[in-house]
């Protein structure tokens, strides 16, 4: 293996440390305490784990943190009322409604009901538009692509990606499209590939920065990777692992890590790469919202 392994856990720890220090400073100088509300509807076990860890991390950062657990049969109207109450609550700077929502609730309607200045996920059309027009300092940027960007900048040692080719595999609203906008804002030349793209291996092999966000285990093969490329694997897929024993499973990314690491210059592992950055950037976004209220510059990461 020749690639530098990008340690997402370590970078996430550093981001959270910066958030903690800046939060303490903000509270000292302005009295403003960043506040985050997380709303979960139903009892999906994976979502409950995520929500608990978000609440814990927010408290660790020194934030005011509230979690609202609503029953599976909550009506769309009641959820919208909860969002409106949080929109009007001055203690709350950021609102996160955990997805997926139960099938009888229109997710988009709920997301668009969140005040754009509290939309910590960056899913509201206003934030999508700000990111797309380059008004990034005023936007909330979705946490996973924001975290991926921090890893890319640290791995390459620069925020200026001029002259570099980036290929993003996957065109989701949550990762692929915002990743495209962030890389473009960093001056990379960006191509977004997806399930209808022809000659994906050849295209991927042109990438100095290759971002995989398709949700298909180990789809990106080692020989698709340009020598020296920075490979960011956003995928988290659970697959059977008979080699670990009967009925055992393991987590893998969208990239065939063992093979790709022979060619890449730097690569994120799964787990321990992009994953830990998502929650760290949620904390960073919450602090940024409070800083906006205070008219204070938020930290850079």
Query: By CB under 6 A, which span of 94-102, 228-236, 240-248, 292-300 interacts with ligand GUN?
Result: 94-102
Residue 151's closest CA among 182, 174, 189, 130?
182
121 is catalytic: yes
Question: Which strands, in side-by-side order, build the sheet including 64-70?
Answer: 64-70, 35-41, 94-97
SS3 content of the chain, % helix, strand, coil (to 5): 45, 15, 40
Any contact of residue 99 with ligand GUN (CB under 6 A)?
A: yes
Q: Which is nearer to ligand GUN, 106 or 259 (CB)?
A: 106
Output the smallest distance, CB 282 to ligand GUN, in A: 8
Q: Which is nearer to ligand GUN, 11 or 51 (CB)?
A: 51
Contact 96, 111 (CB under 8 A): no
Choosing from 119, 121, 233, 256, the catalytic residue is 121
Q: Strand pairing partners for 212?
A: 169, 233
Output the smallest distance, CB 214 to ligand GUN, in A: 16
- The contact pattern for ligand GUN, residues 122-151, with x = CB under 6 A and - = no contact, is ---------------------x--------
Kindly list the distances between the CA atom of residue 223 and the CA atoms of 164, 200, 270, 285, in Å, as whole numbers in the listed order. Answer: 19, 12, 19, 37
Cβ contacts of 21 within 8 Å, gap of 6 or more: none
Contact set for ligand GUN, span 11-30 (CB under 6 A): none
Q: Would strands 4-5 and 266-267 be described as parallel, antiparallel, or unpaired?
A: parallel
Q: Which is nearer to ligand GUN, 222 or 272 (CB)?
A: 272
Any contact of residue 96 with ligand GUN (CB under 6 A)?
A: yes
98 is catalytic: yes
Any contact of residue 254 with ligand GUN (CB under 6 A)?
A: no
Any contact of residue 98 with ligand GUN (CB under 6 A)?
A: yes
Q: What is Dmax (Cα atoms) for the chain?
A: 57
- Residues tagged active-site: 54, 98, 121
Residues engaged in binding ligand GUN (CB under 6 A): 96-99, 121, 143
């Amino acid at each position: 293996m020749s690639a530098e392994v990008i340690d997402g856990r370590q970078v996430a720890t550093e981001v959270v440390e910066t958030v903690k220090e800046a939060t303490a400073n903000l509270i000292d100088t302005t009295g403003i305490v960043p506040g985050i509300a997380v709303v979960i509807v139903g009892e999906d076990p994976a979502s409950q784990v995520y929500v608990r860890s978000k609440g814990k991390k927010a408290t660790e950062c020194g934030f005011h943190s509230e979690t609202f657990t609503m029953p599976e049969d909550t009506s769309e109207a009641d959820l919208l009322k909860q969002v409106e109450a949080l929109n009007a609550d001055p203690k709350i700077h950021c609102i996160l409604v955990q997805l997926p929502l139960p099938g009888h609730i229109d997710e988009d309607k709920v997301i668009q009901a969140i005040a754009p200045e509290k939309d910590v996920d960056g899913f509201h059309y206003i934030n999508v538009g700000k990111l797309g027009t380059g008004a990034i300092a005023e936007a909330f940027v979705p946490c996973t692509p924001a975290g991926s960007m921090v890893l890319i900048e640290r791995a390459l040692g620069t925020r200026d990606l001029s002259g570099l080719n980036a290929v993003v595999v996957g065109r989701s609203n949550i990762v692929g499209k915002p990743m495209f906008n962030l890389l473009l804002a960093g001056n990379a030349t960006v191509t977004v590939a997806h399930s209808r793209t022809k000659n994906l291996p050849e295209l991927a092999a042109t990438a100095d920065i290759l971002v995989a966000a398709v949700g298909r285990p180990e789809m990106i093969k080692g020989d698709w990777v340009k020598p020296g490329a920075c490979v960011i694997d956003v995928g988290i897929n659970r697959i059977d692992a008979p080699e670990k024993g009967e009925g055992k499973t393991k987590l893998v990314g969208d990239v065939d890590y063992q093979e790709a690491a022979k060619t890449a210059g730097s690569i994120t592992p799964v787990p321990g790469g992009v994953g830990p950055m998502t929650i760290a950037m949620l904390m960073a976004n919450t602090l940024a919202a409070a800083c906006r209220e205070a008219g204070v510059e938020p930290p850079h990461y």
